[in-house]
Amino acid sequence: MKIITIIGARPQFIKAAVISRRISELNSKNSSHVIDEVIVHTGQHYDEEMSGLFFRELEIPEPKYNLEIGSGNHGYQTGKMLIALEEVLQKEEPDWVLVYGDTNSTLAGALAATKLHIPIVHVEAGLRSYNRRMPEEINRVLADQVSKLLFCPSQTAVDNLALEGIKKGVHITGDVMMEAVKFAEDKIPENPEILAQLGIKPKKYLLATVHRAENTDDIHRLKDILAAFGTIDSTIVFPVHPRTRKLLETTKYSSPENVILIDPLGYFEIITLEKNAQMILTDSGGIQKEAYWLKVPCITLREETEWVETVSNGWNVLTGADKDKIIGAVKSFKMPENHPPLYGDGSTSLYCIQKILEAKI
C-alpha cells in the first residue's frame, strides 16, 4: 500500500511524525513493507526555524518532494499547491492521500486527491469553531466533505460531522499530538538549557504565542494583546512567529521590560517552556491541548475554540483580544481540582494505521 502524506506547517510536522514513526515500526516488523509512505512538503512553512529543525528533531524522514511554494495570499498559495500536488499524485499513483489539520496544505491536498479520485484520510477531522471568517475553518470543512476516512479526536468532533450529514468512515481515534508530547517529554533534560539561556526559572514566567491571522492581521487586536502583556505583573516569554514579527517591525513595537521576545523554537524547546510555565497565553489550537496534557493553565486569545473540552474542564479560558479580559483571566485563574483524560489514550497512531489497512478502497 502506498500513502502520500501531505504536510506544510509546523503543527502538521508534529502530527505526521507520530504516524510516520509508527509506519516505520510496522514495516520493520515485517519482511516486506506494509506501507510505502511518500512524504510531500508543500513548503508552506519553509525556513529553517519553521521547517528544517522540526524534521530533524521529530525524526521525520526527509520529504521525497519539497514543493517550495512559500508564502502568499490564500488563493495564490493554495492554487500553486494544487497545481504542484496534482503532478506529484499523477506520478506516484498512491492508494491513499493523508492530510492533517486545517491549513492551506490540507485543503490543496484534499482537492488535488479528490479530483484524481484518490481516497483521502483526514487526521483531526470534525473540528469546528463555527467562525467562517477563519481560513482554517473553511479548510477543515471542505477537507472533511471529500474525505473517505475521518479520524476524530473526540466525540464532539464526531457530532459536528453528523450535523453536516457526514457519518460514513468516521472514527474516534483520539489525538496523535498526545504521543508527540510524550515523545518530546522523554527528550527533555532534567535541567533544560533554554531556561538558563533566557534567565528564567520553572513556574516563574508566562509563555505567550500569537500567530493566527485574526490576531496578526488586525492591528487593533494585536495592539490590545500586546498592551495586556505589558500590563501583566510577570515575565512573559514570547516566541515570535515570522508573520507577527513583520507586523511588530512595521509598527515599531518596543517590548516592555517584562516581555522577552525570542525567535521561533524547536519542538523540544517549546514543550520545555510550556511544561515549566506558570501559565500559557496563546491563540494556537495545538498549544491549548499541549497545555492541558502538561497540566498548565491556558488563556486562549480567541473568542472561540475547537477544543471545547479544555474549556469545559476548567483548564482553558477564552478572552479574545480584550485587554481587560486577558489581564483579569491571568489574575483570577484557579487551578481545577480534576484533570480527566482527553483526546485518547496515547495509541492514536496505531489505531489510525489499523483503520487505513482495514478500509476498502
| Structure confidence at residue 50 (pLDDT) | 52
Cell numbers found for residue 325 = 479580559
Nearest to 19 by CA among 117, 160, 151: 151
Which parts of the chain register pLDDT below 70?
45-52
**What percent helix, strand, coil does the chain show, rounded to 5?**
45, 15, 40
The model's pTM is 0.93
Express each pLDDT in 143-186 by its tens digit: 999 999 999 999 999 999 999 999 999 999 999 999 999 999 99
Cell numbers found for residue 2 = 502506498
| Structure confidence at residue 138 (pLDDT) | 96
Q: How far is CA 47 from the centre of its chain?
A: 17
| Structure confidence at residue 49 (pLDDT) | 55
Cell numbers found for residue 361 = 478502497
DSSP for residue 279? E
Express each pLDDT in 195-243 by its tens digit: 999 999 999 999 999 999 899 988 899 999 999 999 999 999 999 988 7
Q: How far is CA 41 from the centre of its chain?
A: 15
Alpha carbon distance 242, 82 (integer Å): 24
Burial class (CB in 10 A: 0-12, 13-18, 19+), 96: buried
Strands annotated E in the chain: 2-7, 36-41, 65-66, 96-100, 120-123, 149-152, 170-172, 206-209, 236-239, 259-262, 279-282, 298-300, 316-318
Amino acid identity, position 175: D
Note if 171 is an active site residue: no
Query: What is residue 292's three-state secondary structure?
Result: helix
Q: In angstroms, how far is the first alpha carbon of the chain from the final one?
A: 11
| Structure confidence at residue 73 (pLDDT) | 81
Query: What is residue 21's three-state secondary structure?
Result: helix
Q: In what order do the strands lie in the sheet with 279-282?
A: 259-262, 236-239, 206-209, 279-282, 298-300, 316-318
Nearest to 94 by CA among 62, 123, 117: 117
Region class of 125: left (phi > 0), else alpha (psi between -120 and 50), else beta: beta
| Structure confidence at residue 59 (pLDDT) | 82
Please tell me which residue in 41, 122, 211, 241 is annotated as part of the active site: 211
